[in-house]
């Protein structure tokens, strides 16, 4: 039985049954509830703009079934070395000029080597000096590496759980679900904000999506950012080839919006980011996602190696919907700053 949802209450004791009950609500009722929770905690007409750059592409030894950067994939992605610091800073400056608030950087590693850390630290410091928020996704982190990033001033670390625990081994075999949770714990212990979400449309069931949301919503602290991706099936990847030309190749739009709405309700203060797969969504589907509580997007025409909607398209959509770029601090961080000051 679903308890009354309090619009201003952050809970970490959600049960799977409660989350499943949210998914099962009539669609219009679910959207109304999610929009009410969203309006109680966030500016309803503001969307956070983020930019994502691949600072080291391809050659990853992991076998993630969705990823074109895996050495197991026959996707045509060529492995590159870590970008030079100055190159990254130039791209960050361009992102800031385009209106981005956060600059996210990803490296296709299982985990960073200690020899890579000095350059990573220099990049973090340089991007922060521009007044941009910084986010890194580098794979698994040791507690020492997390501490180094925290000392450099890293604002966010992204490490997605990808899916629910029961479905995980059907997607990835080279890393355990617990490994991902351990990295999130190391990041949190270092005092870095957590960005963690996953991918829907990988052939999973609704029960798996319930498990995905449940894992995040019952962490000791909710992730400050929760990216929700729709699978972009890439030819040459395990999932891309397996789902090609099948009804599972694209998740139903309504079910995707339901997932966004349930994420918003269960994690009311988190930024819920509408991420990969957006370039293939209609304007109406994106609008429903924003109504359901998504309040962050990636800008630009590329996400690591996947296509993205593009700045001009986003500007036109924002104008049509009356949306503007987020100004100021995200609510969950502002609350913690206020609590620390008391």
Contact in structure between 208 and 20 (CB atoms under 8 Å): no
- How much is the pLDDT for 76? 64
- How much is the pLDDT for 315? 85
Select which of 50, 67, 102, 209 is catalytic: 67
- How much is the pLDDT for 46? 94
What does the angle CA 221 – CA 222 – CA 225 come to, to the nearest 5 degrees?
Answer: 135
60 is catalytic: yes
Select which of 91, 104, 180, 209 is catalytic: 104
Contact in structure between 223 and 270 (CB atoms under 8 Å): yes
Alpha-carbon span 288 to 58, nearest angstrom: 34
CA distances from 62 to 110, 111, 196, 232, 291 (A): 6, 10, 18, 18, 36
289 is catalytic: no
Contact in structure between 227 and 160 (CB atoms under 8 Å): yes
How many residues are present in the chain?
342
What does the angle CA 166 – CA 171 – CA 173 come to, to the nearest 5 degrees?
Answer: 90
Helix (H, G, I), strand (E, B) or coil at 54: strand
Helix (H, G, I), strand (E, B) or coil at 280: helix
Give the predicted TM-score (pTM) of the model. 0.89
Helix (H, G, I), strand (E, B) or coil at 45: coil
Element (H, E) at 227: strand 225-230
Contact in structure between 4 and 236 (CB atoms under 8 Å): no
**Most distant CA pair in the chain: distance in Å?**
57
Select which of 135, 175, 258, 289 is catalytic: 135
79, 2, 31: which is closest to 292 by C-alpha? 31
Count CA atoms closer than 13 A to 135's CA, side-chain side.
27
195 is catalytic: yes
What does the angle CA 231 – CA 234 – CA 239 come to, to the nearest 5 degrees?
Answer: 65
Alpha-carbon span 232 to 297, nearest angstrom: 16
Helix (H, G, I), strand (E, B) or coil at 273: strand
In sequence order, what DSSP letters do the residues of 138-205 get, joined into one string? -S---HHHHHHHHHHT--EEE---BS-TTTGGGT-SSS-HHHHHHHHHHHHHTTPEEE--EEE-SS--
Select which of 102, 195, 209, 289 is catalytic: 195
Mean pLDDT split into 10-residue runs, the chain, 342 residues: 65 96 97 96 92 82 73 67 90 88 87 91 95 92 94 95 93 89 95 95 93 97 94 73 65 93 97 87 93 89 50 84 84 63 62
50 is catalytic: no
Select which of 60, 175, 278, 289 is catalytic: 60
Select which of 91, 102, 273, 278 is catalytic: 273
336 is catalytic: no
> Does the CA dihedral 182-185-190-196 come out positive or negative?
positive
16 is catalytic: no
Select which of 64, 175, 180, 278 is catalytic: 64
- How much is the pLDDT for 287? 95
Alpha-carbon span 104 to 157, nearest angstrom: 9
């Amino acid at each position: 039985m679903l308890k009354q949802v309090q619009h201003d209450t952050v809970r970490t004791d959600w049960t799977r049954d409660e989350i499943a009950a949210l998914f099962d609500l009539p669609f219009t009722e679910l959207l109304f509830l999610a929009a009410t929770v969203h309006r109680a905690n966030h500016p309803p007409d503001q969307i956070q703009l983020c930019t994502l750059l691949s600072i080291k592409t391809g050659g990853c030894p992991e076998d993630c079934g969705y990823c074109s950067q895996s050495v197991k994939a026959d996707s045509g992605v060529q492995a590159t070395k870590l970008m030079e610091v100055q190159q990254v800073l130039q791209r960050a400056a361009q992102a800031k000029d385009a209106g981005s608030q956060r600059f996210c950087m990803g490296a296709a590693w299982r985990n960073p080597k200690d020899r890579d850390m000095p350059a990573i630290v220099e990049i973090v410091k340089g991007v922060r000096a521009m007044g941009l928020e910084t986010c890194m996704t580098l794979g698994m982190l040791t507690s020492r590496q997390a501490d180094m990033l925290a000392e450099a001033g890293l604002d966010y670390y992204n490490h997605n759980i990808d899916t629910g625990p029961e479905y995980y081994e059907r997607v990835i075999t080279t890393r355990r679900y617990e490994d991902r949770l351990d990295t999130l714990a190391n990041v949190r212990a270092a005092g870095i904000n957590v960005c963690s979400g996953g991918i829907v449309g990988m052939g999973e069931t609704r029960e798996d999506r319930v498990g995905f949301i449940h894992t995040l919503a019952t962490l000791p602290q909710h992730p400050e950012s929760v990216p929700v991706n729709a699978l972009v099936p890439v030819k040459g990847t395990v999932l891309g080839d397996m789902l090609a030309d099948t009804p599972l190749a694209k998740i139903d739009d309504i079910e995707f919006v339901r997932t966004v709405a349930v994420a918003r309700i269960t994690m009311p203060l988190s930024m819920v980011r509408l991420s990969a797969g957006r370039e293939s969504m209609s304007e109406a589907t994106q609008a429903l996602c924003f109504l359901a509580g998504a309040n962050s997007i990636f800008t630009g025409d590329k996400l690591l190696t996947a296509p993205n909607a593009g700045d001009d398209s986003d500007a036109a959509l924002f104008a049509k919907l009356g949306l503007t770029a987020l100004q100021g601090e995200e609510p969950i961080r502002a609350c913690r700053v206020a609590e620390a000051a008391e």
